[in-house]
Chain A
Amino acid sequence: MSDMILKGVVHKYGSNVNTDEIIPARYLNTTDPAILAKYCMEDIDKDFVKKVKKGDIIVAENNFGCGSSREHAPIAIKAAGVSAVIANSFARIFFRNAINIGLPILESPDAVKAIKNGDMIEINLNQGIIKNITKNETYKSQPFPEFMQKIIKAGGLLGYIKK
Chain B
Amino acid sequence: MGSTITEKILAAHCGKKVVEAGEFIEPKVDIVLSNDVTAPLAIKEFRKSGVKKVFDKNKIALVMDHFTPNKDILSAEHVKFVREFAKEQKIKHYYEGGNVGVEHALLPEKGIVVPGDVVIGADSHTCTYGALGAFSTGVGSTDVAAAMATGKVWFKVPQSIKFVLKGKLNKWVSGKDIILYIIGLIGVDGALYQSMEFTGEICKKLTMADRFTIANMAIEAGGKNGIFTPDEITEKYIAKRAQRKYKFYAGDKDAKYAKTFEIDCSKIYPQVSMPFLPSNAKAAKDVKKTYIDQVVIGSCTNGRIEDLRVAAAIIKKGKKVNPNVRTLIIPATPDVYSQALAEGLMKTFMDAGAIISAPTCGPCLGGHMGILASGEKCVATTNRNFVGRMGHVKSEVILASPAVAAASAIKGYIATPDEI
Closest to A18 in B: B386
Cβ–Cβ contact A16 & B224, under 8 A: no
Residue B192 at the chain A interface, CB threshold 8 Å: yes
* Residue contact B192 to A91, C-beta cutoff 8 Å: yes
Whether a CB of chain A sits under 8 angstroms from the CB of B75 is: yes
Closest Cβ–Cβ distance, residue A36 to chain B (whole Å): 11
List residues 360-419 of chain B with CB under 8 A from any CB of chain A: 365-367, 384, 386-389, 393
Interface size on A, residues (CB 8 A): 39
Chain A residue numbers with a CB within 8 Å of B188 are 16, 63, 66
Interface 9-mer from B40-48, B93-101, B318-326 = B40-48
Tell me if A54 counts as interface (CB < 8 A to partner B): no
Within 8 A of A (CB), among B257-291: 277
Which of B67, B146, B222 is in CB contact (< 8 Å) with A161? B146
What are the residues of chain B within 8 A of A135 when measuring CB–CB?
none
Query: Bound state CA distance, A1 and B46, in angstroms?
Result: 28
B119-162 interface mask toward A, CB cutoff 8 Å, 1 = contact, 0 = none? 00111101000000000001111110110010000000000000
Name the residue among B75, B126, B189 with the largest chain A CB count within 10 angstroms: B189
CA distance A43 to B38 in the complex (A): 21
Give the distance in Å from the alpha carbon of A25 to the alpha carbon of B48 in the complex. 25
Which B residues lie within 8 Å of A29 (CB)? Answer: 67, 71-72, 74-75, 78
Answer yes or no: A89 CB below 8 A from chain B CBs: yes
Within 8 A of B (CB), among A19-76: 20-21, 24-26, 28-31, 42-44, 46, 62-63, 66-72, 75
Query: How far, in angstroms, from A18 to B146 measured CA to CA in the complex?
Result: 25
| Interchain CA distance A56-B353 in the complex, whole Å | 52
With known contacts A29-B78, A66-B222, A69-B123, A93–B139 Cβ distance under 8 A: yes
A160 to chain B minimum Cβ distance, whole angstroms, is 10
Residue of A nearest to B141 (CB): A71
- CB-CB under 8 A from A30, the residues of chain B are 74
A28 to B45, CA, bound (A): 17
Asked if residues B48 and A31 are in contact (CB atoms below 8 Å), the reply is: no
In the bound complex, residues from chain A placing their C-beta under 8 Å from that of B71 are 29
Q: A63-B189, A92-B222 are in contact. Are A28 and B143 (CB under 8 A)?
A: no
Q: Are A25 and B192 in contact (CB under 8 A)?
A: no
B202 at the interface (CB under 8 A from A): no
Contacts of B49 in A (CB 8 A): 158, 161-162
With a CB–CB cut-off of 8 A, which chain A residues contact B389?
20, 25
Among the 9-residue stretches A77-85, A96-104, A119-127, A138-146, the one with 4 or more Cβ atoms under 8 Å from chain B is A96-104
How many residue-residue contacts, CB under 8 A, span A and B? 131
Say yes or no for B50: interface residue by CB 8 A criterion. yes
Tell me the complex Cα distance, A69–B389, Å. Answer: 14
With known contacts A25-B366, A91-B222, A69–B122 Cβ distance under 8 A: yes
Determine whether the beta carbon of B141 is less than 8 Å from that of A89: no
User: Across the interface, do B365 and A68 meet the contact criterion of CB distance under 8 Å?
Assistant: yes
Measured CB to CB, the nearest residue on chain B to A64 is B189
Cα–Cα distance between A79 and B46 once the two chains are bound (Å): 20
Q: How far is the CB of B53 from chain A (nearest CB, A)?
A: 15
Q: Complex formed: what's the CA distance from A89 to B37 in Å?
A: 26
Determine whether A118 belongs to the interface, using a CB cutoff of 8 Å to chain B. no
Asked whether, in the complex, the Cβ of B138 is within 8 Å of the Cβ of A93, the reply is yes
Chain A residues with Cβ below 8 Å from B366 are 20, 24-26
Q: Give chain B interface residues in 23-55, CB to chain A under 8 Å.
A: 37-38, 40-41, 44-46, 48-50
Known: A16-B277, A92-B222, A158-B145. A67 touches B386 (CB 8 A): yes
Q: A92-B224, A158-B46 are in contact. List 9 more A-B contacts (CB 8 A).
A: A16-B277, A18-B384, A20-B365, A26-B367, A44-B387, A69-B38, A69-B123, A97-B142, A156-B142
Interface residues of B (CB under 8 A from A): 37-38, 40-41, 44-46, 48-50, 66-67, 71-72, 74-75, 78, 121-124, 126, 138-143, 145-146, 149, 188-189, 192-193, 219, 222, 224, 277, 365-367, 384, 386-389, 393
Can you list 24 pairs linking A and B with CB atoms under 8 Å apart? A18-B384, A18-B386, A20-B366, A24-B366, A24-B388, A25-B365, A25-B367, A25-B389, A29-B74, A43-B387, A43-B388, A43-B393, A68-B384, A69-B38, A69-B122, A69-B138, A93-B219, A100-B143, A156-B45, A156-B142, A157-B45, A158-B46, A158-B48, A162-B49
Question: Which 9 A/B pairs are nearest by Cβ-Cβ distance?
Answer: A97-B140, A100-B142, A29-B74, A63-B189, A71-B140, A43-B388, A158-B48, A25-B365, A69-B124
